[in-house]
Structure 1
């Protein structure tokens, strides 16, 4: 196999890792909830707490991913993450106590956080700079593929039986893991420090991250709040509050998923021409406008435009931020910087989710939720604007 073939195999494997870690482990869960409630496995409230368990695990995964991969090697960390998610689907395919489900949803979230940090960083830092925009687009398009699959296939699987749906997702993850297993060979020390360096043995203490990186990390956290209104409330807002019906809302969610597939490629195309920094700023600005516009969306064209743009920016901003960080720090530090960014994102999104749910509960209407999300994106844009713009490679 040539170097180019090995590189493309790794890029595709990175996309699969993100597909499994987020597209299925996170976005594959909501369509399973109605089936579990109808089968009397859990109440709707309990199922919601199980969803939160995945977010909590994802946060811990993002926090520990860099050090964990430094100890066991990037390849082992990625493979273990893939296997744990597959197993988590399989062992939850029958009615069991809440604690059992909570533990495994937490584990799948932790594995997803590890995959997001380690797999994405490994691919980007082992790809030549000129090819990183396309590589990042392919990797992060896995999120959109997972959303589209979860929105259209998982509900059909649940009509057979809820147990069948869980098993099917587990088997799919196992097949994807097996198909990409060999692509991670020879990357145990890629995109990060050796195990000794990770633990501090025989090496000096790591330098603090540059101010520009810290600003990007903070801005990324603020931007993550802007994801919450659509990922939690968009369908219900359109169907009930705007009175457009579930059919209309379901179409909009599919448009959202299509945007999530196209977003990384559109962002990569812009980054290849304008550079990572300019592409990131442009992406945040577009998403802020779309989230704010969503608060008054009551027509097909406006709702569809907002669905597509926000959907595109869900993985698009991830790709832009990761790519820009690859310019701000040496390659061997990218995994640490990206780990902090992912942690900031996960923490702010979790806090923002609960806060925006509380706002909705207080005011009883969705538009303020979208406005707050849009304002948070604007604040994230301002913080990112302050970040130092390096000389960019195109």
Structure 2
């Protein structure tokens, strides 16, 4: 049991590597490749990203219930199985409207899997590790997203040599391998630690935390869906420079997640959120500058803020809610997912209506990031 607890943060990281790092973010470098291969047009590719975000919302809302019914380890198994199946199903190419419907359904299921894994992995790990290790463990778990981004960015170019179908199959096999290796170390906390309510039934409102997290999520939809396409079709990057965009995004995410939890313990949740929002604003501002170099700068800044913010929010939730952190984290994850799903469809419509204008979608993202920064600054020291 002690060995299982020691390995739990790494198992949680593996769950998010697949459920978010690959099942969501590996799609970003695939986006321009699918358009170039004629699987979908630019508007359709953006819509598939929105379908994934909608599935994520449903998974985030249903994850706690699945954990209660199945137990955390089995619920994590379900999420990993669905993510793997979704990869393999996307390898089937159909024609016409059926293609978009088929891919949309499976991208939505991949998002659902990611939502379940995100809702359960972090709180479950924090419930089984000693209190002194919780901040660091939260960073390790969330770093799985960033390592998945790096893995996806590294795998996509060579897998593309086998075509789009071969790419999806390769990602499915990678997902299966991670699942089989890490599942013996799934965290298995007491049900009350992750699914119950604290004594007295009180959960802090944490209004500022939730508002900032939701607005930050909305602001990051543009880079999380369109960044590689901005580099390829918007700035003319190709070859190594284009492949580096998503690797840099992931490396920035690793830095953001591994430092996020620790800085919450050092600065406190409010100040740490403010720092991350400043970086997000800078990242989105860079996407509006001309030239490919600005995109390469925006990538690590975007990864640092967009992925690292989850480690900050998880640490802040534990800081504010204590034993009720699991419940507060599910609320935060659901709001994050709702904000991203709504913004994803709005940006897909905007992208199509403006003739696939990257300036329009990234300008909207910058506006939302500025609002998130403002939300993080509102209120005094006691504000929730």
Match of 1:230 in 2: 223
Assess if the C-alpha contact under 8 Å between 1:27 and 1:147 holds in 2. yes
2:262 and 2:78 map into 1 onto residues whose CA distance is 33
Q: 1:337 aligns with which of 328, 338, 352?
A: 328
1:324 is displaced (CA, Å) by 0.1
Matches within 5 A, 1:105-144: 105-144=107-146
1:373 aligns with 2:365: yes
Within a 5 Å distance, the mapping from 1:22-61 to structure 2 comes to: 22-32=20-30, 45-61=43-59
2:302 to 302, 307, 310: 310
Aligned position for 1:17: 15
- Residue deviations 1:151-196, cap 9 Å, x none? 22123213124333322222222221121222126336263235xx
Task: Check if 1:291 corresponds to 2:284.
Answer: yes
User: Which consecutive unaligned segments of at least 5 residues does structure 2 have?
Assistant: none
Shift of 1:33: 5.3
Match in the other structure for 1:210: 204
Question: TM-score, normalised on structure 1?
Answer: 0.83
Distance of 1:329 and 1:204 partners within structure 2: 12
2:338 is matched with which residue? 347
CA contact (8 A) 1:117 1:342 kept: yes
Distance 1:205 1:17, change over 3 A: same
For 2:275, the equivalent position in structure 1 comes to 282
SS at 1:166's partner residue? Answer: helix
Question: Aligned partners of 1:143, 1:365: CA distance in 2, in Å?
Answer: 28
What is the DSSP-based 3-state SS (H/G/I as helix, E as strand, rest coil) of the residue aligned with 1:330?
A: helix
Instruction: Indicate whether 1:384 and 2:382 are aligned.
Output: no
The equivalent residue for 1:186 is 188
C-alpha spacing 1:303/1:269, structure 2 compared with 1 (3 Å): farther
Q: Distance in 2 between matches of 1:139 and 1:378?
A: 28
| More displaced 10-residue stretch of structure 1: 88-97 or 318-327 | 88-97
Rg larger in structure: 1
Q: Tell me by how many angstroms 1:318 deviates.
A: 0.8
What per-residue deviation string (whole Å, max 9, x for no partner) do you get for residues 54-100 of structure 1?
Answer: 22111111112122212222222111111121222234433355454
- Within 5 A, what are the aligned runs for 1:261-280? 261-280=254-273
Aligned residues: 378
| TM-fit CA distance, 1:369 | 4.0
Displacement after TM superposition at 1:389 (Å): 4.6
Cα deviations across residues 346-376 of structure 1 (Å, max 9, x unaligned)?
A: 2212222333455554497544544432332
SS in 1 for 2:194: coil
Please give the TM-score of this superposition, normalised by the length of structure 2: 0.85
CA spacing shift, 1:256–1:76, aligned 2, 3 Å: same
1:320 corresponds to: 312
Distance 1:363 1:84, change over 3 A: closer
Equivalent residues of 1:295, 1:368 under 8 A apart: no
| Helix, strand or coil at the partner of 2:345 | helix
In 2 relative to 1, CA 242–40 (structure 1 residues): closer, same or farther, beyond 3 Å?
closer
* 1:21 positional shift: 0.5
CA–CA distance in 1 between the matches of 2:54 and 2:153? 23
How far residue 319 of structure 1 moved from its aligned partner, in angstroms, is 0.6
For residue 144 of structure 1, report the CA deviation from its aligned partner.
Answer: 1.5
